Amino acid sequence: MNRRQFTASLGAAAFAQTKKAPNVLFIAVDDLNDWVQNFGGNPQSVTPNMVRLGARAIRFQRAYCNAPMCNPSRASLMTGLRPTTTGVYNNSDTWRDGAPDAVTLPEYFLNHGYRVLGCGKLYHNSQPDYHAFHEYLPETHSEAEAKAEGSHTPAKAAQGHFDWGPLDIADEEMEDYRYVRYTADVLSKKHDQPFFMACGFKKPHLPWYVPRKYFDKFKESDVKLPPYLANDLDDVPKSAILQGGLRDHARVTKNDEWQAAIRGYLAAINFCDTNVGRVLDALDKGPNAQDTIVVFWGDHGWQLGEKNMWRKFTLWERSCRAPLMIAAPGVNKTGADCGRVVEFVDLYPTMLDLCGLPPKAGLAGKSLVPLLKDPLRPWDGAGITSDGADKISIRTERWRYGRFPDGEELYDELADPNEWKNLAHHPEAMTAEQKKVRDTLAARLPKRENRTKHRAFEQLPGEEKKKLKGVPREGFAKG
């Protein structure tokens, strides 16, 4: 019996839950950067419901993913382990190969007396870890949404899923609305045991197809472009550059669609915000509002032309920073900003701490409860983000240091928030203080990067895929 099986065998007996144990509403959003009104990324973004949540939460303004893409970021958050420990760096990786005995965050709650329910995108696409949930509404694609997308005229710069545009379709016909409906149903009922309800929204992931009314809120000619420096990439290591992101930018600018593309992202974010509001309405109107912790997180950032780049997959601020909000009744009294640096691996120990569950050995992060109680307290945090065993960065409140096979980066984030001047490009010109910072941050990076190459999940035999996915304990939820 391995560690994972042993932990599961303990079940609810491992921790005697009481009615005082708080519920958890765990909201994950795909590809949402800091273009949220109370995070300041883009003043044109319209997110009143995220603002509403932020008014009663601690808003972590410097929260960093541990990998700048879906699969490794989510696997790291859910296992509490860094990519440098598991070797899971890519979307194609079978994440269970890197963490075969890990007890994931939902599974830990299930093993300690919680009713665990999930819907939508929590893990990357086809690796949902179903067995860790009592019930799960899986990620699919609605027929109405697929039909509307099929009749859509692609943008001139479109390439694969890199596309945007309005759909003549009702919100209720969109896939994300299924997750709203399922989550709202859970929140509207009383439960005999505490619940962990995890809801994963797809938008604003590409393609940015959402109902027309969300596009109508943004006039293309009024859309402002992000801060931009044409020769921004001249002083960075070549391996730091995402070639696909460069090709996206070349197509967008060649076809004069930069504003149009940003409009699509803004519309998709506003659609997501509306769905978040529907979930919050269900919570507030139901019987669980006073004893439910709400956690809201985006899995990584997103670039929209900064550094001539689109998408994620890089180790700069735009890709690594993502919104994180935690509202814990009785712990944080009112909404406030926290400027301390935290990272996604901190969420696992934080949730155990908030819910009174036994601490778990071997987790990489640390509980954020002290910051929930006092967001201004001293904190020696750093955000470590990996994009492969040979590409890694570390972010503190003032500095970002990056190490690559062909060079280094060092940015003074206070003086240079757009990361336009790589101080490490000319080491001979660095001050003694900058050299000391570079060396200190380099020493804080993980000493051993797991270089194991994991199997590609989609290439596995069907029976092995099924085994790795796990089987929901009570079957798929219907919705």
Q: How far apart are CA 137 and CA 128, in angstroms?
A: 11
Instruction: Kindly calculate the radius of gyration of the chain based on its CA atoms and give it in whole angstroms.
Output: 22
Rounding to the nearest 10 degrees, give the CA dihedral for residues 452, 455, 456, 462: -160
User: What are φ and ψ of residue 327, in 5° steps?
Assistant: -115, 110
Are the C-beta atoms of 266 and 210 separated by less than 8 Å? no
Q: What b-and-e string marks burial along 417-445, b requiring 16 or more CB atoms within 10 Å of the CB?
A: ebbeebbbbeeeebeeebeebbeebeeeb
Q: Is 355 a catalytic residue?
A: no
Helix (H) or strand (E) holding 270: helix 258-285
* Contacts of 374 by beta carbon, 8 Å cutoff, 6+ apart: none
Mean pLDDT along residues 24-37: 98
At residue 229, what is the residue type?
L
Residues contacting 413, CB < 8 A, separation 6+: 317, 395, 397, 398, 399, 400, 419
Query: Beta strand pairing status for 195-201 and 164-167?
Result: unpaired
CB within 8 Å of 69: residues ≥ 6 apart: 90, 91, 300, 312, 313, 387
Rounded Cα distance, 196 and 357, in Å: 13
Q: Do the strands 383-386 and 392-395 form a parallel or antiparallel pair, or are they unpaired? A: antiparallel
pLDDT in tens, 354-400: 999 999 999 999 999 999 999 999 999 999 999 999 999 999 999 99
Asked if residue 18 has pLDDT above 50, the reply is no
* Phi-psi label, residue 417: left if phi above 0, alpha if psi -120 to 50, beta otherwise: alpha
For residues 183 and 199, give the distance between their C-alpha atoms in angstroms, rounded to a whole number. Answer: 7
Contact yes or no for 73/352 (Cβ under 8 A): no
What is the per-residue pLDDT for 42?
97
For the chain, the domains span: 21-395
Strands 135-137 and 383-386: unpaired
Residue 4, pLDDT > 70, answer no
Q: In this structure, are residues 95 and 185 in contact, taking their beta carbons and an 8 Å threshold? A: no
Which residue in 124, 249, 300, 454 is the catalytic one?
124
Give the chain's length.
479
pLDDT range class, residue 478, cuts 50, 70, 90: low
What is the DSSP code string of 21-63?
A: SPEEEEEEETT--S-SGGGTS-TT---HHHHHHHTTSEEEEEE
* Structure letter (DSSP) for residue 93: B
- 402-427 pLDDT per residue, tens: 999 999 999 999 999 999 999 999 99
| Structure confidence at residue 141 (pLDDT) | 81
What pLDDT does 126 receive?
A: 80
Q: For the segment 332-357, what is each residue's pLDDT rounded down to a tens digit?
A: 988 999 999 999 999 999 999 999 99
Are residues 291 and 23 in contact, defined by beta-carbon separation less than 8 angstroms?
Answer: yes
pLDDT higher than threshold 80 for residue 297: yes
At position 380, the amino acid (one-letter code) is D
State pLDDT tens for residues 196-216: 999 999 999 999 999 999 999
In the prediction, which pLDDT does 289 show?
Answer: 97
Question: Looking at the predicted structure, is the pLDDT value of residue 269 above 80?
Answer: yes
Q: What is the pLDDT of residue 21?
A: 94
- Exposure string for 60-82, b = 16+ CB within 10 A, e = fewer: bbbbbbbbbbbbbbbbbbbbbbb
Type and span of the H or E element at 289: none
pLDDT of residue 140: 83
The arrangement of secondary structure in 21-395, i.e. its CATH architecture, is 3-Layer(aba) Sandwich (3.40)
Asked if the model's pLDDT at residue 16 lies above 80, the reply is no
pLDDT at 476 over 90: no
- Residue 3's pLDDT band, with cuts at 50, 70 and 90, is very low
Instruction: Return d(Cα 260, Cα 222) in angstroms, integer.
Output: 10
Q: For residues 131-154, give the mean pLDDT.
A: 91
Q: Which of 148-152, 245-249, 474-478 has the lowest mean pLDDT?
A: 474-478
Reduce the DSSP state of residue 224 to 3 states and report it: coil
Half-sphere exposure of 298 (CA within 13 A, CB side): 32
Surface-to-core class of residue 141, CB atoms within 10 Å of its CB (0-12 exposed, 13-18 middle, 19+ buried): exposed
- 65 assigned to active site: no
Q: How confident is the model at residue 241 (pLDDT cuts 50, 70, 90)?
A: very high
The answer to whether residue 472 scores a pLDDT higher than 90 is no
* pLDDT score of 11 more than 50: no
Is the pLDDT reported for residue 17 higher than 80?
no
- What is the residue-averaged pLDDT of the chain? 94
Taking every pair of C-alpha atoms in the chain, what is the biggest distance, in angstroms? Answer: 66
Q: Given 65, 70, 119, 320, which residue is catalytic?
A: 70
Report the alpha-carbon distance of residue 400 to residue 413 in Å, rounded. Answer: 7
